Amino acid sequence: MTKKQMLGLGLGLVGFLVPWVVDLPGLNFTGQVTLGIFLMAACFWVLEPVPIYTTSLLVIFLEVLLLSAEGPLYTMSRPPTVQPAAATDVPGVWLPGATLKSERFVLIERAGTAPQQLEVEILERQGDQIRVRQANLSTNELVWTKPDHWQATYRPSSYRTFFGALADPIIILFLGGCLLADASVKYRLDRALTRLFLKPVGERPAMIVLGLLLATAVLSAFMSNTATTAMMMTVILPILARMPEGDPARIAVVLAIPVGANIGGIATPIGTPPNAIALAALQKAGIHIPFGTWVMMALPLVLITLVLCWVLLVRLFPANAKAVKLDLEGRFDRSSKALVLYGVFGLTALLWFTEQQHGISSNIVAFLPVVALPMLGVVGKKEIHALPWDVFWLMAGGISLGTAIRDTGLAQWMVGSVNWATLGTFAILAGLAFFSYFLANFLSHTVTVTLLAPIAITLGASGQAGSGFSLATALVTIAVASSYGMTLPISTPPNAIAMGTGVLETRHLVKAGGLIGGLGMILVLLCARYYWPLFVH
Amino acid sequence: MSNIYILCVEDEPEVLEAVIRDLAPFERVFPIESASTVNEARRVVAECILPKGKLGLVICDHILPGEDGVSFLVELQQDSRTVAARKVLLTAHAGLEATVEAVNLASLNHYIAKPWTQEDLLNVTRRQLTDFVLEQETNLYPFLTILEADRLTEKIRQAPLPSDE
């Protein structure tokens, strides 16, 4: 275990325990418990003493244990209750004085939910007993003798809510996307498409870089960025052998792949997990962005960025070679199963893009390939087992943590401690974008968005950010900005793969990634200010 | 990434020079070391190769002054640090007995008869080194430009990906 990991483990445990010991003013007990889980998860996700997806699973487990109605913390610390005693010859019932809340109310036990509060009229006091009048208070009811118990104001969620994050509709959307991508890899549709895209670019190195950027971006809009990068590397590295050693264009060619993959991921909801996390958070807040709308919002940004990347890469790493021959092999598989795959893929994509016309949510459409591909024998158990379950679980932990932060009032409390109104709506948006970009350079992009989404949700819901603040714009901004975090080899797995080829040095990546990120931030903010508000409010 | 070395053992200087010249296309990724006797080869492996990396491929003559080449290959096969190295015999006069010993006790991977052609030597080297990295390395991308890209690609596509995006 490295020092960094030990630090992460220590800080995480301290973060988890502090809210149990220190009483934070204005935050209720369950909010404090959630804060503990949040602090621990943040330390674990940032410093990685354990793999990040296992942190997600731990988050779900702790939520079930500590926050759910079925969890041991809730069931074992139920407050004591007493039955009212009937008064003889006089009106009302007798209760211990301790049951009184604010001298006017008592709390009646209601199984599985928060207690019912009843206003009572005090008729008589005798020692620590009181006689009260309340029409609905019979001697069969159970009255809380500790009305200031932490459970008095807390309505716990069922453990189904927390476990349910593992099958959140957004996870299903991703499941569908991943299965389509895996099937495409199995039947080499990805390679065949790459060949199709690269055919028209000719032999000039600059055009090849453009072709690679576009091909990678298109594929990574539907496949995981990492899988796209891995596939494209196997396509381009043998080509690289034909370029003279020491030609800077070799660097441009290799860099085009991770850059294209990272940027291409922005284009669709299934392009990369951060998009899905943002959409899941929005759905919980009652805002649904259809698949096609997301693409309309993201596509101009993606295209402009890709053109800028192309200019940058070609300028930074100009080619010495006049021409490089691309002879790519890879034909479209015409077996019957491959044809079924093309059909299912086409139908799913069509339904995704026409969501606004037929009104069937893209999350539901995503289940079509999940049902059809295994049923028709296009994929088997092997592909099902090979799905990226760790990614699904990582996302689920984030979704479930977001729910807990909102439901326990923690988000409200966190946001309330800053005076946002003085900042201005656009400044808040810009702040979120830069913070997301900054974190994404060091953390997993999914984790970045997971940590920032609840803050944005609460800002929007609390109205603290001003009336011009659009929740949807804010979350799209956070998700998109995170995809630009690609300065360092550790920023994203595509970067790590590109570095692993041995063709690049870190400084190449830092130079290109940093410039693209900086330009990207300007573009993102322009979109957030002038373009995205045309689609979402 | 630690270096993967090619070791050539040959006692005639002109022949050694020719082998190294023929293998030049690999030199950029796979540094080449040479020795003219088994004793020297042993020292090169212990002092130059193992401290800085792994032995990936040995191309060895059989008839050498002092100990013969096959016994050196057998010795490499018995050492856990060099057992994975691919072993090629490049010789004109290895008798049946020595060849059988090389196959049975040194797991000889290939036999090239002198005189050889450069094309043949390059192909054998490429195939043997591809086998070596497929078996020994986790990051295969650096070898895609120089070894058998098809087989490496197949392995990359089947391997699980890092997926914490």
- Which part of chain A is CATH 2.40.420? 81-148
pLDDT of residue A130 exceeding 90: no
Assess whether pLDDT exceeds 80 at residue A129: yes
DSSP 8-state class, residue A89:
S
What's the sign of the alpha-carbon dihedral A8, A474, A434, A505? positive
pLDDT at residue A67 tops 60: yes
Residue B78 belongs to some domain of the structure:
yes
Is the pLDDT higher at A347 or at A108?
Answer: A347
Q: Which helix (H) or strand (E) holds A81?
A: strand A81-82
The answer to whether A52 contacts B152, with C-beta atoms less than 8 Å apart, is no
Contact A485/B at CB under 8 A: no
A10 Cβ contact partners less than 8 Å away, ≥ 6 residues apart: none
The answer to whether A327 faces chain B, any CB pair under 8 Å, is: no
How far is residue B80's CA from residue B55's CA, in Å, rounded to a whole number? 11
State how far the Cα of A325 lies from the Cα of A239, in Å rounded to an integer.
8
**Span B67-78, average pLDDT:** 92
Residues 211..270 of A with a Cβ closer than 8 Å to B: which?
224-227, 230-231, 233-234, 237-238, 240-241, 245, 265
Q: How many residues does chain B have?
A: 165
What pLDDT is recorded for position A147? 81
Q: A81-148 domain in CATH 3.30.1380?
A: no
> Is the CB of residue B85 less than 8 Å from the CB of residue B114?
no
For position A418, what pLDDT does the model report?
67
Cα distance between residue A174 and residue A265, in whole Å: 13
What is the count of structural domains for chain B?
1
Tell me, what's the pLDDT at A202? 85
Task: Specify if B164 maps to a domain.
Answer: no
Q: Cβ B160–A493 below 8 Å, yes or no?
A: no
Q: What is the mean pLDDT of chain A?
A: 89
Q: What local confidence, expressed as pLDDT, does residue A463 receive?
A: 65
For strand B86-91 and strand B53-60, is the pairing parallel, antiparallel, or unpaired?
A: parallel
Q: Which band of pLDDT confidence, cut at 50, 70 and 90, is reported for residue B160?
A: confident
For residues A406, A409, A411, A416, the Cα torsion angle rounded to the nearest 10 degrees is: 150
Domain that holds residue B111: 3-158
The two beta strands, B32-35 and B86-91, are unpaired
Distance CA A251, CA A240 (A): 10
B164 and A224 in contact by Cβ < 8 A?
Answer: no
Q: Which residue has the higher pLDDT, B120 or A459?
A: B120
Q: How confident is the model at residue A501 (pLDDT cuts 50, 70, 90)?
A: confident
Q: Is residue B42 part of a domain?
A: yes
CB A229 within 8 A of CB A498: yes
How far A485 CA sits from the closest chain B CA (Å)?
Answer: 11
Summarised one tens digit per residue, pLDDT across range A203-222 is 899 999 999 999 999 999 99
- Angle among Cα A219, A225, A231 to the nearest 5 degrees reads 65
Tell me the CA distances in angstroms from B97 to B5, B84, B158, one per residue in order. 29, 24, 41
CB A239 within 8 A of CB A503: no
What is residue A464's predicted lDDT score, i.e. its pLDDT? 64
Q: Please check whether residue B133 is in contact with residue B140, taking contact to mean a CB–CB distance below 8 angstroms.
A: yes
Beta-bridge partners for B6 = B32, B57
Tell me the average pLDDT across A249-268.
95
Residues of chain A with pLDDT > 90, as a percent, come to: 48
Q: How much is the pLDDT for A403? A: 85
Q: What is the pLDDT of residues A271-312, one digit of tens each?
A: 999 999 999 999 888 899 999 999 999 999 999 999 999 999
Neighbouring residues of A427: CB distance < 8 A, sequence distance ≥ 6: none
The pLDDT of residue A134: 82
Query: CATH number of the domain that B51 lies in?
Result: 3.40.50.2300
- A241/B165 Cβ within 8 A: no
pLDDT tens for each residue of A427-458: 888 999 999 999 999 888 999 999 898 888 87
Burial of A315 (0-12, 13-18, 19+ CB in 10 A): exposed
Range of lowest pLDDT (A93-97, A135-139, B34-38, B41-45): A135-139
Q: DSSP code of B7?
A: E
Lowest average pLDDT, out of A129-138, A335-344, B5-14, goes to: A129-138
| CA–CA distance, A252 with A254 (Å, rounded to integer) | 6
Q: What is the pLDDT of residue A69?
A: 87
